[in-house]
Structure 1
Amino acid sequence: MYQPEHQTLVSTKIKGLNLDKIQNEKLKDIISDLLTDTFYTLLLGLDGSAAIGNSQESFKIYDEDNHLICEGGDLEGLAYEYFHENTTF
């Protein structure tokens, strides 16, 4: 198994739990689901379909070359497919 030279704060805390292999896999699944939900919600917030904090606004999103990627309302469907239907683009 790969052991990075420098441990992150999170990996150090997880290691300190002394989980067995099954518990470790379950924790990885929970963290993966948590990150999926977080990224999906952030995309919806940028799309204007959900609030970020106490504010719900719509944003235009541009790439690094200043090309419009999407305008408010365009991301919700694609984000759902990607994060919840395991669709690859």
Structure 2
Amino acid sequence: MRTELPGQLALCMVLVLVDVVRPGRALVTCGELDFGGEIVLDKYGATGRRDVYVVESEGEVIGRARSYREGAYLLAERNGLPRSSVTVEIEHEYKVC
């Protein structure tokens, strides 16, 4: 539950869940604030750097990140939450054979 005061953001932590559905692809959700997005590995993207993730929200690229966690923080910041009020939980849903 969030407690807000005039002119301040949430005083408690907000959970952002990163669900890795397969290597290089994750879905991000935040039930409390009803936002989400997708993080996709761009192995040799436009930046020329290796292993950079593209962070998307509602079909729009909002930035790049070096990890799933960093991508989740980017999505949270895009929705008005500072990093200090976000808890990121990462789950791996795929099975490695």
TM-score (norm 2): 0.23
Instruction: Determine which structure has the larger helix proportion and give its number.
Output: 1
Larger radius of gyration: 1
Instruction: Determine which structure has the larger strand proportion and give its number.
Output: 2
The structure, 1 or 2, with the larger RCO (C-alpha pairs under 8 Å, 6+ apart) is: 2
